Amino acid sequence: MSPAKPERRGLLIILSSPSGAGKSTLAKRLMVWDDSLQFSVSATTRAPRPGEIDGKDYLFVDENGFRKWVADGEMLEHAHVFGNFYGSPKPPVEQAIESGRDVLFDIDWQGAQQIRNSALGAYTLSIFILPPSIAELHRRLVNRGQDNAETIARRMQKSWDEISHWDGYDYVLINDDLDVTEDKLKTIIRAERLKFAQQPRLSDHVRALQSEFEDLP
């Protein structure tokens, strides 16, 4: 007997933004809102930061191992950022969407583009988060206290390149109020889950309805 179809297909939900615009905070809020969401744990060649756990925050791997995964077709997307490689392993993502679970990605525009152009591109929902202003973006980077002045300057310089790709996404939100932006994200996800393409059981239901018409006296 073939396995039953899931209620719906899983979505690849992509959140992108320049550093400091709020995508990581919003991603965490979405995970609290819906605990069925599966976060895509990225692989990286950078060293772990204090408190980061291998396999939970990132999959930490050396450059040779990362390159082998890419060569073997095991990475859904990958990029070189600030001297390190980052990427999304493909097997856990495929397993999740086939079982009807959504996968959440916190990645940049390069990764988003690679996923949209992949074999799983039909199941992507891409959302770009804009800051309300560049001054506010800089303030958030400084206040979060994660980077030194040189790194903040590099992130600010890179932010324009990130923002220039805003029009390649399905949805674009200005994050001037975190709670309001969170509510908008939830509305988008609810609507996308109801699309015909995401509901594999609908065609079976329609065929059943047609059969009932045929059986009418």
Tokens linked to 102: 């959504």
Q: What angle do CA 168, 24, 30 make, to 5 degrees?
A: 90
The reported pTM is 0.82
For the chain, what's the residue count?
217
pLDDT for residue 165? 94
b/e burial code for range 27-65 (CB count within 10 A of at least 16 → b): bebbeeeeeebbbbebbbbeeeeeeeeeeeebbbbeeee
pLDDT for residue 4? 61
CB atoms within 10 A of CB 71: 9
pLDDT for residue 3? 54
H/E segment holding residue 68: helix 63-71
Radius of gyration, CA atoms only, the chain: 20
Give mean pLDDT in consecutive 10-residue pieces for the chain, a chain of 217 residues: 68 92 93 94 92 91 95 92 90 89 92 90 94 90 83 87 94 96 98 90 90 85
Q: What is the rounded CA–CA span in Å between residue 151 and residue 132? A: 21
CB atoms within 10 A of CB 167: 7
Q: Are 47 and 63 in contact (CB under 8 A)?
A: no
